[in-house]
């Protein structure tokens, strides 16, 4: 993981720097009954704990891992070109890796030449490929936990 900095400039929020926040509850406030659920602008998942980067004046927040995603990756589903981390400003795009449809605003890994997209979960999985088994939940298949395979599988 990249070195933890107290403030970063991030491509997804050029208006202001994002500050490291240790406790998001202190920032968004509210009692237990009216507590806001803050979602990460990058992956669109709730920020439930740990460190996050954010701009409180604009309510723009990122998980620490999403703020430090690789800006370009190579994916075995799309070996021709690198996939570049971009901000999606419209809704209704699809992940060509896990086949999730109708995804909302946030980050994706994208090849402009081929119009190939990978959601951040699929992109992050590639960045984490090691010999150890990596298990994760994915909205494209909520029934079971998925295990990242480091070899080609006979299924998609």
pLDDT at residue 148 in the model: 62
Domain that holds residue 126: 72-148
| Residue whose pair of structure tokens reads 């992956």 in the numeric block | 43
One domain for residues 143 and 81: yes
The mean pLDDT value of the chain amounts to 81
Position with higher pLDDT, 49 vs 116: 116
One domain for residues 30 and 58: yes
Domain membership flag for residue 131: yes
Angle, CA 43 vertex, CA 98 and CA 155 arms, to 5°: 10
Position with higher pLDDT, 104 vs 16: 16
pLDDT value at 3 more than 80: no
pLDDT at residue 131 in the model: 35
Mean pLDDT, range 5-25, rounded to an integer: 88
pLDDT at residue 132 in the model: 43
Which bin fits 7, alpha (ψ -120 to 50), beta or left (φ > 0)?
Answer: beta
Q: What is the total count of domains within the chain?
A: 2
pLDDT at residue 107 in the model: 93
């Amino acid at each position: 993981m990249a070195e933890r900095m107290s403030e970063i400039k991030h491509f997804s929020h050029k208006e202001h720097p994002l500050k490291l926040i240790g406790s998001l509850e202190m920032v968004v406030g509210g009692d237990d009954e009216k507590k806001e659920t803050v979602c990460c602008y990058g992956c669109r998942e709730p920020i439930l704990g740990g460190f996050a980067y954010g701009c409180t004046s604009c309510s723009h927040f990122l998980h620490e891992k999403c703020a430090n995603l690789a800006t370009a990756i190579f994916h075995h589903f799309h070996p021709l070109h690198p996939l570049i981390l971009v901000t999606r400003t419209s809704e209704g795009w699809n992940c060509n890796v896990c086949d999730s449809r109708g995804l909302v605003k946030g980050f994706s890994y994208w090849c402009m030449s081929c119009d190939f997209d990978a959601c951040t979960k699929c992109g992050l999985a590639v960045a984490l490929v090691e010999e150890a088994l990596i298990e994760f939940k994915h909205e494209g298949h909520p029934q079971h936990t998925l295990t990242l395979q480091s070899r080609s599988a006979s299924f998609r």
